[in-house]
Amino acid sequence: MLGNKVNFKKAKIPSKKNLNGKYVTLEPININQHSKDLYANFSKDKKNRIWTYLPYGPFKTYVSFKKWLKSFCLNKDPFFYAIYAKRYKQYCGMASYLRITQEHGSIEVGHINYSPILQNTAEGTETMYLMMKNAFEVLGNRRYEWKCNNLNNGSKKAALRLGFKFEGVFRQMFVSKGRNRDSAWFSIIDKEWKKLKNAYQRFLKPSNFDNKLKQKKELRI
């Protein structure tokens, strides 16, 4: 027995266009424009916790951070965005598309790094909404993935809050910073997107936030 036939040709690759929202703008990485803000805001995490589950960092100097950006973040896959928070008028974080598989319509969101001022904010949620919306509606993907270190409980909790469904754990998938990594896998598929989109739009309405952008009602999916 085989799976259902699908009328699908090929998804598009991410373009150099900005993704614009109410609270953030996502801009494809530009070293000269973004690097200073990003390094300054990442450095606000004095204990370097934001780098714990990433395969790189922390970076002790701006020069080493800028060198890493040039070597790793200007590729087609992963395809990185800098996150511009409109209320702060600064670039406060990064996120990327990766594992871009056009012929199957599959794309992953990852390398998510929010500086302390971006964590647990309307801007952070809108960033994920804009990338998800673009992945399904503009790029035409069938599947949107999230994977993380299985020990990263914060990331697993975030995936579920954002509407991803847990699919299982790939054991001993990577060696990262000299340590074993088991990877937890999550996904959203295209037929689930309409319901999720409505939930995000309700959550992101300006009326759901006070003048300091504190939410009144939680994201409910």
Closest CA to 70 of 127, 23, 29, 33: 29
Cβ 87 vs Cβ 74: under 8 Å: no
Question: Is the CB of residue 92 less than 8 Å from the CB of residue 37?
Answer: yes
C-alpha torsion sign, points 27, 32, 36, 38: positive
Q: Alpha-carbon distance 158 to 180, whole Å?
A: 22
Q: What is the pLDDT of residue 1?
A: 83
pLDDT, tens only, 67-123: 999 999 999 999 999 999 999 999 999 999 999 999 999 999 999 999 999 999 999
pLDDT in tens, 29-66: 999 999 999 999 999 999 999 999 999 999 999 999 99
pLDDT value of position 87: 96
CATH superfamily membership of 19-208: Gcn5-related N-acetyltransferase (GNAT) (3.40.630.30)
Cβ partners under 8 Å of residue 63, min gap 6 = none
Q: Nearest 5°: phi and psi at 119? A: -70, 140
Distance CA 183, CA 159 (A): 13
